[in-house]
Amino acid sequence: MSAFVKLTTESELPAPGQAKEFPCGDKVICVANVNGTISAMDNVCLHRGGPLGQGVIEGNKLVCPWHGWQWDVNSGEAVHNPVVRIAVYPLKIENGDVMIEQ
Ligand code: FES
């Protein structure tokens, strides 16, 4: 069963065009801001484990800081091979808190 838990507060979210890492239970979540639209995905790149929240945004793609694999922030698909897909999570904002569905 899934449920929303608090990830962070709205004021801590990354600025447009940036990504950021947030601890969440026993994992880390990468939150990306593409032109004001916030999305969340696992922070661990499926190539060799690079920290996606330390990557950069190009268009609507998040670029891994280690070897440049690009990830669609909405679908979680690797741009070069959509079969490779990283987990993405729904977010909602409630009273200034950013909630993530797990
Ligand atoms: S670890 Fe992300 S591209 Fe290699």
Strand partners, 65: none
Strand partners, 55: none
| Region of 30 on the Ramachandran plot (φ > 0 left; ψ -120 to 50 alpha; else beta) | beta
| Gap from CA of 63 to ligand 1 centroid (Å) | 9
Asked if residue 53 lies in contact with residue 62, where contact means CB atoms within 8 angstroms, the answer is no
Q: Is the pLDDT of residue 102 over 90?
A: no
Our measurement of the distance from residue 23's CA atom to the centroid of its chain's CA atoms, rounded to an integer in Å, reads: 12
Domain range summary for the chain, segments of one domain joined by +: 4-101
| Gap from CA of 95 to ligand 1 centroid (Å) | 36
Kindly give the number of the ligand 1 atom that is closest to the alpha carbon of 69.
3
> What pTM did the predictor assign?
0.95
Q: Which CATH superfamily is domain 4-101 in?
A: Rieske [2Fe-2S] iron-sulphur domain (2.102.10.10)
Q: What is the tens place of the pLDDT at every residue in 3-43? A: 999 999 999 999 999 999 999 999 999 999 999 999 999 99
**Ligand 1 contact via 4 beta carbon (within 6 Å):** no
Kindly give the number of the ligand 1 atom that is closest to the alpha carbon of 68.
3
Q: What are φ and ψ of residue 12, in 5° steps?
A: -90, -5
**Ligand 1 contact via 44 beta carbon (within 6 Å):** no
The protein residue with its alpha carbon nearest to ligand 1, atom 4, reads 67
* Closest among 92, 89, 88, 96 to 71, alpha carbons compared: 88
- Please state, as a whole number, how many other Cβ atoms lie within 10 Å of the Cβ of residue 99: 17
